[in-house]
Amino acid sequence: MQIIPIIELLEGRCVSLVKGNLDDPMLWHVDPVETARGFAAAGASGMGVTDFDAIKGGQGNDDLIAEIILKAGIPVQVGGGIRTTERAEHWIAQGAAQVVIGTLATQMPEEVKALAMRHPDQIVLALDIWQGKLMTHGWGTESALDPVLFLESFADVPLSGVIVTDIDSDANEVDKQLGVISTLGAATRHRVIGSGMVDKLDDIASLKYVSDISAAIIGRALMRKAFSLEDALSVAQPEPEPVAHLG
């Protein structure tokens, strides 16, 4: 299972949110660019950046994100507030390995599908789930779309993957989240990435055996130093197959 460390930005600073609450962020006193370099040094094969200012309509983090893409040393996935195909094209042109799209896909699905056709394996679909409902606009608006049917409508689109976040659980109820992600995982052949599901190393040890999950995004647990990225990457590795000894 791949581990994807993530930096979440608000006004140029690294933060974490609890259940998507932008009004009460947890602030981390770390340098975003150096943190990204640290992810690479620890052995991560890729990382993510989420721009919370962009969710609110701002672009004040653009230069910082561009610097992270340039200096991280590993592929960078950019998400947060990508509400137009032009904005997605902007980040691809800036060198982002993938862009994460949620709200835009619910509003203009055909445009997003066309975007993915132009940029195969560079568009990641984000599904944010709250009490079984598909949420949009930074987790603030409940959509009338059925999450499973919505995901199935992208079956033939060359996505890089699908990120599933169970906002209601928020890393405290992994068993409940597994039910949500398994239901959606069964509805797609795309690579499924769990977000907000890891709070301790034991969570990684459990997740890597779930067939519907191929990657896990980790942010807050790394920022609060619940464990090291090196340890997370080690735990995520598959167990060696037993070797039969012939006598």
Catalytic residues: 8, 128
What six digits make up the tokens of 169? 């659980």
Helix 85-93 / helix 109-118 crossing angle, nearest 10 deg: 20
Q: Are 193 and 214 in contact (CB under 8 A)?
A: yes
What is the residue whose two structure tokens read 């301790």?
A: 200
Instruction: Extract the runs of DSSP E, i.e. beta strands, from 68-172.
Output: 76-79, 98-101, 123-130, 133-136, 141-142, 161-166
Q: Residue 79 pairs with which residues in a beta bridge? A: 50, 100
**CA distance to 83, 144, 192, 239, per residue, from 79 (Å):** 10, 23, 16, 32
What six digits make up the tokens of 194? 């769990």
